[in-house]
Amino acid sequence: MSFDFALAWDSMPALLNGAWMTVLITASVMAVGAVLGFGMCLVRMSRNRVLAAVGAAYVAVFRGAPSIVLLYLVYAGLPQLSIVRDTPLWVLFASPLFCAILGLGLNHSAYVVEILRGALSAVPPGPVEAALALGLSPRLVFLKVRLPIAVRYGLKAYQNEVLIFLKSTVAVGAVTIADLTGAANEIFSMTYDPFTPLVTAGAMYWAMTNSLRLAFEALDRRLNRHLAAGVPDSRPATARRADPGSALFRRLRRSPAKPAE
Amino acid sequence: MGLLAYGADGYGDELLAGAWVTVQLAVFAYALAAVLGTLMAILTLKPRGVRWAVGRVYASVATGVPSLLVIFLLYYGGTEIVHALLVPFGVDERPSISPFWAAVAALAFVYTPYLADLLRGAIHNVPKGQLEAAEALSVPRRQIWLGVLLPQALRIAYPGFVNIWVVLLKDTALVSLAGLTDLIAAAKVASGSTREPFLFYGVVVVFFVLFAAATIRLANRHARRLDRGVRPSEA
């Protein structure tokens, strides 16, 4: 039971390759999830009962299923349909990367729908009524008043969801993509060192999740700067100036993100 | 639908066996995480000191890495880890770790800090008077915890605990990548040999959605029972 630093250093290129794949998938899924989630949220909140039911079913299925099952369904299931197999769509679905992004994106977008829906319904009626009374068009009221407030309300839940799904990208190993976990596994199968590659990969995941968390917290502070959120630094100004790094350290010590439903 | 038949003609029995593995895995891992999470919550109750710092580092690691990575680590390296832990006690054995127990330990390792965080917050939210009243009546320490504080904290933390249960249940799906024949692995074999992925993965999706819904229903009923002594305005 020991950590082999030479092996960790030698396997760095392979692991970084895998880490890049993880980052790429995460970023793509966030983009897909934002677009699909926003669209389906409008469907889910539609006044039309049928559309709303479709949205509810979308959320129930794609949020309730483990993402690995959705990956298998997209990767192995959809090519069975002739509309996929016999059309140019086949080019897309033959690529494991596309299937992985679509599968994880479906799962992620279902969470985005619920987060956005909760945030939109939490927007107080006052600002909306004020904007309408001022004669702004409903579209403008939605885009300039409701949505910006909702984004601030939903950011924390969205952060939790993104951190959870960043960790769930390990499932892409199921559709033959070599992500960070896959790379670590590959090194294990060549060296039979059960600790070094996995612990190194774990450290990389830790760095990824925490930098993403810090980025979200910075965004949260920026969006909510009018509220002066967060614990103020109570030390005298001289001490604050002398040791600016400790503010960052305090933030790092804050409790970790909890999974949100 | 004949493919789902029980016995040699269909995959019904294989799927059922896989679902049983999934359920067992989730229940054992959750129970272990609940016990360890309770201990951790009690040990890290005060936000300072060595225990708190150790707890924070552990929570940061456990919540910062994917559970599949921890499963692999315990699966490949579990024997060595147990050996290293046993050597100080004069036991020089290398027990082999089955993938099932490696997965249970890994999921418990990952979800313990989540539950501990919930429970710690809940313990802080139990009205102070409860502890003071118990101390004034000189109730023994252990009974204050087991009979007064923890039951009330558990009631407060209950919705969060149910949330984590659903997250953990879905996370068990990853164990098929570590070679365990759970429901997902069974469905993969079945759909590979019959070329009916929609049918079998559809069954898996239905299982997870319905099982989660059923447990949430059960939990809500139980929560109402736990809340029976509390006025609705406080609940």
Residue A241: which pLDDT band, with cuts at 50, 70 and 90?
low
Range A1-18 average pLDDT: 86
In chain A, what residues touch B115 (CB-CB under 8 Å)?
A: none
- Per the CB < 8 Å rule, is B117 touching A64? no
Residue-averaged pLDDT of chain A: 86
Residue B207: which pLDDT band, with cuts at 50, 70 and 90?
very high
pLDDT tens digit string along A144-158?
Answer: 999 999 999 999 999
Query: For residue A127, how far is the Cα from the chain centroid?
Result: 29
Q: Is B202 domain-assigned?
A: yes
Q: Is the pLDDT of residue A124 over 70?
A: yes
For B25, the token pair is: 């895995």
In chain B, what residues touch A209 (CB-CB under 8 Å)?
A: 63-65
Q: Is B34 domain-assigned?
A: yes
Q: CA-CA distances (angstroms) from residue A136 to A124, A133, A226, A233?
A: 17, 7, 24, 41
- Per the CB < 8 Å rule, is A261 touching B118? no
Query: For residue B205, how many other CB atoms are within 10 A of its CB?
Result: 20
Q: Find, in chain A, the residue whose alpha carbon is nearest to that of B202.
A: A73
Is there a contact between B111 and B30 (Cβ–Cβ < 8 Å)?
Answer: yes
The confidence score (pLDDT) of residue A175 equals: 87
Decide which of A116 and A246 is more confident.
A116
Alpha-carbon span A162 to A26, nearest angstrom: 9
Question: How many beta-carbon contacts under 8 Å exist across A and B?
Answer: 144
The confidence score (pLDDT) of residue B25 equals: 94
Least confident piece of the model among A83-92, A112-121, A198-207, B186-195: A83-92
Chain A nearest C-alpha distance from B194 (Å): 12
Q: Is the pLDDT of residue A237 over 70?
A: no
Q: Is B184 domain-assigned?
A: yes
Q: Is the pLDDT of residue B192 over 90?
A: no
Q: Is B81 domain-assigned?
A: yes
Q: How many domains does one find in chain B?
A: 1
In chain A, what residues touch B59 (CB-CB under 8 Å)?
A: 255-256
- Per the CB < 8 Å rule, is B67 touching A167? yes
Alpha-carbon span B111 to B167, nearest angstrom: 10
pLDDT tens digit string along B78-130?
Answer: 888 888 888 888 777 777 888 899 999 999 999 999 999 999 999 999 998 99
Q: Is B234 domain-assigned?
A: no
Range A42-58 average pLDDT: 94
ipTM: 0.86
Q: Which of A162, A198, A249 to probe by mutation at the B interface, max B CB count within 10 Å? A: A198
Q: Is the pLDDT of residue A210 over 80?
A: yes
pLDDT tens digit string along A155-189?
Answer: 999 999 999 999 999 999 888 898 999 999 899 88
Quick check: B77 contacting A, CB < 8 Å?
yes
Residue range of the domain that includes B28? 2-229
Task: Report the half-sphere exposure of A195 (CA within 13 A, side-chain side).
Answer: 10
Give the domain CATH number at B136: 1.10.3720.10
Alpha-carbon span A154 to A151, nearest angstrom: 5
Query: For residue B193, how far is the Cα from the chain centroid?
Result: 33
Q: Is B42 domain-assigned?
A: yes
Q: Is B136 domain-assigned?
A: yes
Least confident piece of the model among A76-90, A104-118, A189-203: A76-90
Portion 203-232 of B in contact with A at CB < 8 A = 204-205, 208-209, 212-213
Residue B234: which pLDDT band, with cuts at 50, 70 and 90?
very low
Is there a contact between A171 and A68 (Cβ–Cβ < 8 Å)?
Answer: yes
For B40, the token pair is: 């951790």
Q: Is the pLDDT of residue A219 over 90?
A: yes
Residue A243: which pLDDT band, with cuts at 50, 70 and 90?
low
For B24, the token pair is: 């067992």
Is there a contact between B28 and B194 (Cβ–Cβ < 8 Å)?
Answer: no
Least confident piece of the model among A87-91, A149-153, B41-45: A87-91
Residue B2: which pLDDT band, with cuts at 50, 70 and 90?
low
State pTM to two decimals. Answer: 0.84
Q: Is B103 domain-assigned?
A: yes
Instruction: Give all domains of chain A, ordered by start, each with its CATH number.
Output: 5-252 (1.10.3720.10)
Alpha-carbon span A182 to A100, nearest angstrom: 14
Span between the terminal Cα atoms of chain B, in Å: 47
